[in-house]
């Protein structure tokens, strides 16, 4: 059989991982194949410069019919899979995906890979591969990516716990409604008619915790629905797990927009397949139909395959075409985007925040007096307050994967320090993220303050839901509008996201910077920019 290499599929051994030998050949696994679009998305569908009310978004049916996978391509892949001894588990034209099941031995033979078992000091055990993925030449350009052969954890939750300091004043955290007030979020709105999708790559929530929390802060208990992706489920355990991420996301978004439906998409792990399948499921969910999606997970660009990043970016483009805004945390390890124990010493951007179709959310520290913010700086605890392997600073930098988008051409984005080439600047916007000025949450029966850029993504998601409600129209992909209207932001000019002994990173300054983007929101001004409420 003549084969070709799938572009962008090259894998290296994870830094710090140790091989335990070949994966058991009889182990069963599932793999997702991503297929090409039937036709490219029209430029107008991705144009974020027009006022939201002047836009007409694609419907799910239109996206599937004109820009989903071609039935003939799906038939080719199904025939190839069955001839290779693999089972076809699920097919979706809209999602451009075919899910296959089979043994390790069958997948190794079919795709020309060797799968091994690995262990890592902080990531645990996983199945991995090195090199590229092969496929039959007759499927060239039909199959654009194969995900799930390697299930190493890619993404991490971008939360940061406050460390106890007996010398510091007692701080229990601000409620999300207080933070919304600090940022002048529009009042008289509650998210009615909106659905906020939340991507979670592990963890879970307890309904009784949600009831107790929202009763305590005086906000209606939200309607929360769990959706299973790749056999993942709502699986709460203890407060020191990914449960903290899940509860932070739900509590912040729902406190800001309490009448919005909250739909949480759960996967079984943080691999690239799970992450990609979760976003795809949310974007193409015609049952719950989210108008905004919040993502508080991510990882360094250089640890992901090009194929994964390109496919994820394509799903974000589909979201834009449907009018769905996607808010994504920019990372919690400053310009390093990796913890001290794994860092290679260079500046990196976090993915998927580095996609040009993401609304990338950085972090700040706020000082509050008499119910108002009196000072706001870049969040940066640096190594002085390191917890685990995180530096504790707002993620930000310049992409080495995605080019400089048109909406950032006048923003003063520096070149990528590693490549010397222009690239997409991260983040776009920011908000309170320092755990020392962070959010009161309830997780598995415990209450404590928490921060991280994980809090900023759902904060912005809640704000977008309010704007959608007020306008009576989805605002969708808004990055170009934001960059054209910097007065809708509180410009952060003090601080940096520099980390490590070499002080690697970026400084805040007037206008956009690679620490806090355009700044933190003035909600009322943002709503005015996006369009006045309908009379």
Kindly report, residue by residue over 414-455, the tens digit of the pLDDT: 999 888 999 999 999 999 999 999 999 999 999 999 999 999
Do the beta carbons of residue 31 and residue 89 sit within 8 Å?
no
66 & 119 share domain: yes
Residue 164: the pLDDT is 65
300 & 383 share domain: yes
* Residue 144 bears catalytic tag: no
User: Which CATH number covers residue 483?
Assistant: 3.40.50.200
pLDDT tens profile 287-330: 999 999 999 999 999 999 999 999 999 999 999 999 999 999 99
Do the beta carbons of residue 343 and residue 300 sit within 8 Å?
no
Give me the chain's average pLDDT, please: 94
Output phi, psi for 317, to 5 deg.
-65, -40
Q: Write out the two tokens for 408.
A: 């950032």
Could you tell me the pTM of the whole model? Answer: 0.96
Q: Is the pLDDT of residue 168 over 90?
A: no
Between β-strands 261-266 and 325-329, what pairing exists: parallel, antiparallel or unpaired?
unpaired
76 & 161 share domain: no
CA 515 from chain centre, in angstroms, equals: 17
Could you say which of 147, 164, 185 is where a domain stops? 147
* Residue 245 bears catalytic tag: yes
Q: Which domain holds residue 235?
A: 156-530
Q: How would DSSP label each residue in 173-184? A: -B-HHHHHHHTT
Compute the Cα dihedral for 390, 310, 247, 498 and give only its sign.
positive
192 & 125 share domain: no
One of 64, 73, 209, 249 is an active-site residue; which one?
249
Could you say which of 124, 147, 170 is where a domain stops? 147
Q: Is the pLDDT of residue 239 over 60?
A: yes
| pLDDT mean over 24-41 | 97
One of 307, 318, 454, 470 is an active-site residue; which one?
454
Residue 339: the pLDDT is 78
Residue 532: the pLDDT is 39
Q: In what order do the strands lie in the sheet with 124-128?
A: 18-22, 116-120, 124-128
The Cα–Cα gap between 313 and 304 comes to: 13
481 & 386 share domain: yes
143 & 161 share domain: no
Residue 534: the pLDDT is 39
Percent of all residues in the chain with a pLDDT value above 90, rounded to a whole number = 89
What total number of domains does the chain contain? 2
One of 245, 272, 376, 513 is an active-site residue; which one?
245
pLDDT tens profile 369-410: 999 999 999 999 874 444 445 679 999 999 999 999 999 999
193 & 220 share domain: yes
Which helix (H) or strand (E) segment holds residue 479: the answer is: helix 479-483
Percent of all residues in the chain with a pLDDT value above 70, rounded to a whole number = 97
Could you say which of 147, 164, 197 is where a domain stops? 147
186 & 134 share domain: no
Q: Is the pLDDT of residue 18 over 60?
A: yes
Residue 166: the pLDDT is 61
Residue 338 lies in a domain: yes
180 & 142 share domain: no
pLDDT tens profile 74-120: 999 999 999 999 999 999 999 999 999 999 999 999 999 999 999 99
Q: Write out the two tokens for 533.
A: 């409420």
* Residue 249 bears catalytic tag: yes
Residue 484 lies in a domain: yes
Residue 275 lies in a domain: yes
Residue 535 lies in a domain: no
Residue 501 lies in a domain: yes
Residue 162 lies in a domain: yes
Between β-strands 116-120 and 18-22, what pairing exists: parallel, antiparallel or unpaired?
antiparallel
296 & 444 share domain: yes
32 & 163 share domain: no
384 & 240 share domain: yes
The Cα–Cα gap between 82 and 68 comes to: 22
Residue 24 lies in a domain: yes
List Cβ neighbours of 164 (8 Å cut-off, separation of 6 or more). none
- Give residue 533's pLDDT band: very low, low, confident or very high (50, 70, 90): very low
pLDDT tens profile 242-283: 999 999 999 999 999 999 999 999 999 999 999 999 999 999
């Amino acid at each position: 059989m003549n084969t070709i290499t799938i572009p962008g599929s090259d894998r290296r051994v994870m830094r710090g991982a140790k091989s335990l030998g070949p994966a058991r050949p009889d182990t069963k696994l599932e793999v997702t194949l991503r297929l090409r679009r039937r036709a490219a998305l029209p430029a107008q569908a991705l144009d974020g410069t027009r006022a939201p009310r002047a836009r007409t978004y694609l419907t799910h049916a239109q996206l599937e019919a004109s820009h989903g996978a071609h039935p003939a391509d799906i038939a080719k892949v199904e025939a190839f899979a069955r001839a290779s001894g693999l089972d076809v588990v699920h097919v979706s034209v809209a999602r451009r995906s075919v899910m296959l099941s089979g043994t390790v031995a069958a997948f190794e033979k079919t795709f020309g890979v060797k799968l091994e078992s690995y262990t890592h000091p902080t990531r645990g055990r996983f199945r991995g591969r090195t090199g590229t993925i092969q496929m039959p030449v007759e499927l060239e350009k039909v199959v654009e990516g194969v995900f799930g052969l390697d299930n190493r954890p890619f993404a991490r939750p971008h939360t940061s716990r406050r460390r106890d300091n007996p010398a510091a004043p007692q701080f229990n955290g601000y409620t999300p409604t207080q933070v919304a007030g600090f940022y002048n979020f529009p009042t008289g709105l509650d998210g009615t008619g909106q659905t906020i999708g939340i991507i979670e790559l592990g963890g879970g929530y307890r309904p009784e915790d949600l009831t107790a929390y929202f009763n305590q802060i005086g906000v209606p208990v939200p309607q929360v629905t769990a959706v299973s992706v790749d056999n993942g489920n709502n699986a709460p355990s203890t407060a020191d797990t990914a449960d903290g991420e899940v509860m932070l996301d739900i509590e912040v978004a729902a406190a800001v927009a309490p009448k919005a439906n909250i739909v949480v998409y759960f996967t079984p792990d943080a691999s690239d397949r799970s992450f990609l399948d979760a976003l795809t499921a949310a974007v193409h969910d015609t049952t719950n139909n989210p108008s905004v999606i919040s993502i508080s997970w991510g990882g360094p660009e250089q640890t992901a395959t090009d194929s994964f990043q390109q496919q994820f970016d394509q799903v974000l483009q589909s979201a834009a075409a449907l009018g769905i805004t996607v808010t994504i945390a920019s990372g919690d390890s400053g310009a390093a985007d990796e913890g001290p124990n794994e860092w290679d010493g260079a500046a990196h951007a976090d993915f998927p925040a580095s996609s040009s179709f993401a609304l990338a959310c950085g972090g700040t520290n706020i000082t509050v007096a008499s119910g108002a913010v009196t000072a706001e700086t870049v969040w940066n605890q640096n190594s002085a307050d390191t917890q685990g392997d995180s530096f504790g600073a707002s993620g930000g930098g310049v992409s080495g994967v995605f080019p400089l988008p048109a909406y950032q051409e006048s923003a003063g984005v520096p070149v990528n320090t590693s490549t010397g080439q222009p690239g997409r600047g991260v983040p776009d916007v920011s908000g309170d993220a320092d755990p020392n000025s962070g959010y009161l949450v309830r997780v598995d029966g415990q209450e404590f303050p928490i921060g991280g850029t994980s809090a900023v993504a759902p904060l912005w998601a809640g704000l977008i839901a309010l704007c959608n409600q007020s306008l009576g129209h989805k605002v969708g992909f808004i990055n170009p509008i934001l960059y054209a209207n910097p007065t809708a932001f509180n410009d952060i000019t003090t601080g940096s996201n520099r980390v490590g002994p070499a002080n690697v990173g970026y400084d805040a300054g007037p206008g956009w910077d690679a620490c806090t983007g355009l700044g933190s929101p003035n909600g009322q001004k943002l709503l005015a920019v996006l369009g006045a409420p309908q009379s």
